[in-house]
Amino acid sequence: MDSELYTLWYWSLAVAGIVVVVAAALLIAIIIVARSILGHAQQALQAAEHIAEDTTVIWALAESNRTVGEILSTAESIEANGARIVEALHEPQAAAS
């Protein structure tokens, strides 16, 4: 009877040991994968920061387009006023002829 009890106890101890080893292996695997994920996340964050820096110029184009539109409007106004001045200067000469 004692030998059966010891046999059962040794088998239980062996199974418990195997469970502990498997649990430890899984925990180590989880830690390794988590560190790998952290490394990839840091690389992705750096890439996103570089993309943000590289696309800042694109956002500045909106301001440039607005400014160019204002310059174009001013140039068209100058052109129209210049044409009226030329017409006004030529009218007295046409009337005199």
User: For the chain, percent helix, then strand, then coil, each to nearest 5?
Assistant: 95, 0, 5
pLDDT in tens, the chain (97 residues): 788 989 999 999 999 999 999 999 999 999 999 999 999 999 999 999 999 888 888 878 888 899 999 999 999 999 999 889 888 888 766 666 5
Q: What is the DSSP string of 82-95?
A: HHHHHHHHHHHHHH
Nearest in space to 45 (alpha carbons), one of 35, 37, 56? 37
State if pTM tops 0.95. no
Question: How far is 80 from 75, CA to CA, in rounded Å?
Answer: 9
pLDDT at 38: 97
Residue where the block lists tokens 């199974």: 15
pLDDT at 27: 98
Torsion angles phi and psi, residue 72, rounded to 5: -60, -45
